[in-house]
Amino acid sequence: MHHRTSRRTLLTATAAAAAAAATGVVALPGSAQAAASAASTDSRLKRLIARMSLEEKVGQLFVMRVYGHSATEPDQADIDANLAEIGVRDAAELISTYHVGGIIYFAWAHNTRDPHQIADLSNGIQRAGLAGRTPLPLLVSTDQEHGIVCRVGEPATLLPGAMALGAGGSRSDARTAGRIAGAELAALGINQNYAPDADVNVNPANPVIGVRSFGSDPESVAGMVAAQVKGYQSAGIASTAKHFPGHGDTSTDSHTGLPVIRHTREQWAELDAPPFRAAVAAGIDSIMTAHIVVPALDPSEDPATLSHPILTGILREELGYDGVVVTDALGMEGVRTKYGDERVPVLALLAGVDQLLNPPDLKVAWNAVLGAVRSGEISEARIEESILRILRLKTRLGLFRDPYVTHRGVDRTVGVRSHLATADRIAERTTTLLANTGSLLPLSRRSHRNLLVVGADPASPSGTTGPPTTTLAGAFEELGFAATALSTGTAPTQAKIAEAVAAAAGKDAVVVGTYNVSATSSQRTLVSALAATGVPVITVAIRNPYDIAQLAGTGYAASLAAYSWTDVELRAAARVIAGRARPEGRLPVPVQRADAPAQALYPVGYGLSYRM
């Protein structure tokens, strides 16, 4: 690892001016001191902004992806990808060319191989930022929601995702999860997390949110969101509530289309707004926009990301939020449907956005904003408002004082035993038992020792865990069972179903991991065929908890919801099945009957327990 940059190198004259905002304030009583400190900070930051070129100002508005494990020496394949998509070779060249204010990490961009590498990449990015004409540290961000959206994987601690935490119902656990996740990200040099998800998932068919939401009750979601914000803040990183004004009631994925939400203004205020109000009250650092249309909030039917009535009228003026507003990724189809890539970033800034996240073509977007300022369509004062918010956040995070991390800090924080143990205990409190015919569960090793584990094996959210059937089988083995794993997939063929039925012969029970079962899914056929053998079948929904409604009549004996297929949640489900932990989770969303969707099969708060 590179040595820590010296204080003399780090604090050049311009950066020192901003750094001084955090120190040396004359003591004043209470709020007066806070007000004086804020005024002093703004004064110093405005002087810093005044020294920036227009190109540097425009660059501060962008948060961009970049390929590679290193800021200066990525692999050749990543250099080629960067040249093809961005026109630069590496992160350092991206920063020197476009003066971007932030960089976002993705596993698929090869940014997150292992903890020491991530820390080195983060330090290289900060060195590049401080080497510019106006030395500026960067916001390094990622989507580390945990559960099904996770960019940094093992050996970092993986925690239950939002809906699992909602099932656990403990705000303390939500806060603890945020604190652990935040501490580990901070140790890696990642200072802005695009979490928690503040959407209220009231549509079981929602293809993009689902278990990323804490649940369907606005007040419960609001409480969990506030708890997670406090957890992240206590770890010293920025958190981001998303996706404003609320993405929970859509059947369209904004990655591939433009969702329209038909809530009235009153329904929005009752259903969607409470978690965002709670986030603002908790001091949320940033809020992410949604690429959705809400006609009741903006009759023009512009996506919320581009809507002045929504972002300025409601978020800024009605909710009183003056923190950083970041777009969802600008390469998503939802924001590109109505306007071209050249107009989208300009319209977003005019709507009230501060950060432009991951445009598909940075050169086009950057030049479009530069041209809009030079032509007068966007005033320089307008973008300076956003830059001030961004620099305030960087100051609060201490990035002007010292943006670097160390390998020692990584080793003392990331994936440590206490964090892993806490994640396991939290996960146990989230697993939800929905059906238990004849009190089959908990399984006894004396009567049901020989198990077959079959089902879906979706790719790991972080690329570091699973596959789920193997993970479950391994967890049962560790608990003293004999377990065989057989992957049957999300759409098992007749041949694969026949193979599973043959493998069930002589087994004492079969555990089936199900994944978003539909009315026509062959996963239903698999469960029915296995149950017909007479061997008890236990289903575990490894994503959305709605699977049980589609499995009615298939003959399963017991059914659980795990809310994700990462190892921590699967191990917890195995311990619950084996009786090493009690099923404490309660549904945070209702499960409707498949044959009568207006009727609840299982209401919010439902969940069985063991008599032990």
Q: Where do the DSSP E strands lie in 442-599?
A: 450-455, 482-487, 509-514, 537-541, 558-561, 591-592
User: Rounded CA gap, 268 and 246, in Å?
Assistant: 8
Q: Where are the alpha helices (DSSP H) in 3-157?
A: 7-10, 13-19, 30-50, 54-60, 76-85, 91-98, 115-130
Neighbours of 46 (CB within 10 A): 13
Beta bridge partners of 485: 453
DSSP 434-468: EEEGGG-PSPPTTTS-EEEEEE--PPPSSSSS--H
| Catalytic residue flag (residue 249) | no
User: Rounded CA gap, 464 and 470, in Å?
Assistant: 13
User: Rounded CA gap, 98 and 56, in Å?
Assistant: 7
Instruction: Please say whether the beta carbons of 287 and 316 come within 8 A.
Output: no
DSSP 174-197: HHHHHHHHHHHHHHTT--EE---B
Instruction: Please say whether the beta carbons of 537 and 512 come within 8 A.
Output: yes
CA atoms within 13 Å, Cβ hemisphere of 438: 8
Amino acid present at 60: Q
Pull the structure tokens for residue 557. Answer: 């004996």
Instruction: Please say whether the beta carbons of 551 and 578 come within 8 A.
Output: no
What secondary structure letter does DSSP report for 483? Answer: E
Instruction: Please say whether the beta carbons of 444 and 543 come within 8 A.
Output: no
Beta bridge partners of 514: 541
Instruction: Please say whether the beta carbons of 399 and 186 come within 8 A.
Output: no
Q: How far are the Cα atoms of 50, 99, 100, 125, 141 from residue 128, in angstroms, in the given order?
A: 21, 10, 11, 5, 16
Helix (H) or strand (E) holding 390: helix 380-396
**Contact partners, residue 255, CB within 8 Å, separation at least 6:** 208, 332, 333, 334
Cα of 401 vs its chain's centroid, Å: 28
**Contact partners, residue 508, CB within 8 Å, separation at least 6:** 447, 448, 449, 450, 451, 535, 536
Check the CA dihedral 515-517-521-526 and report its sign: positive
Neighbours of 340 (CB within 10 A): 9
Residue of 42, 116, 255, 361 with catalytic role: 255
Residue of 120, 173, 249, 328 with catalytic role: 328
| Catalytic residue flag (residue 328) | yes
**Contact partners, residue 233, CB within 8 Å, separation at least 6:** 182, 239, 282, 283, 285
Beta bridge partners of 357: 63
Instruction: Please say whether the beta carbons of 179 and 206 come within 8 A.
Output: no
Active centre residues (catalytic): 255, 328
